[in-house]
Amino acid sequence: MSPLEVVTLGQNAVTITLLLAAPLLIVGMVVGLIVAIFQATTQIQEMTLTFVPKIVAVMLAQLFFASWMLIKITDYTRELFINIPNIIR
């Protein structure tokens, strides 16, 4: 196995990880921004107010994107298993 193949495997793993995490992180960031704007306009500085909406939004996003995420990780794993003979030679 050449160093180029190792780098490619690592690059693909990082790419699929970022692709799977991006929707949840974006939803959390958007909800956090909305809550921060709400807190700034109303001058409510409750620390726990930021956590509950973000947790709920990320859980709902997880339910919404779960099938897509499962398809992506299954396809990646299938391709990885198919390429095992090429990797170990």
* 1-25 confidence digits (pLDDT tens): 788 888 999 999 999 999 999 999 9
CA 50/CA 85 separation, integer angstroms: 49
Query: Which are the contacts of 69, defined by CB distance < 8 A and separation ≥ 6?
Result: 20, 23
pLDDT at 47: 80
Do residues 22 and 53 touch, judged by C-beta distance below 8 A?
Answer: no
User: What's this model's pTM, rounded to 2 decimal places?
Assistant: 0.83
Question: pLDDT tens digits for the chain (89 residues)?
Answer: 788 888 999 999 999 999 999 999 999 999 999 999 998 899 888 888 889 999 999 999 999 999 999 999 999 999 999 998 888 87
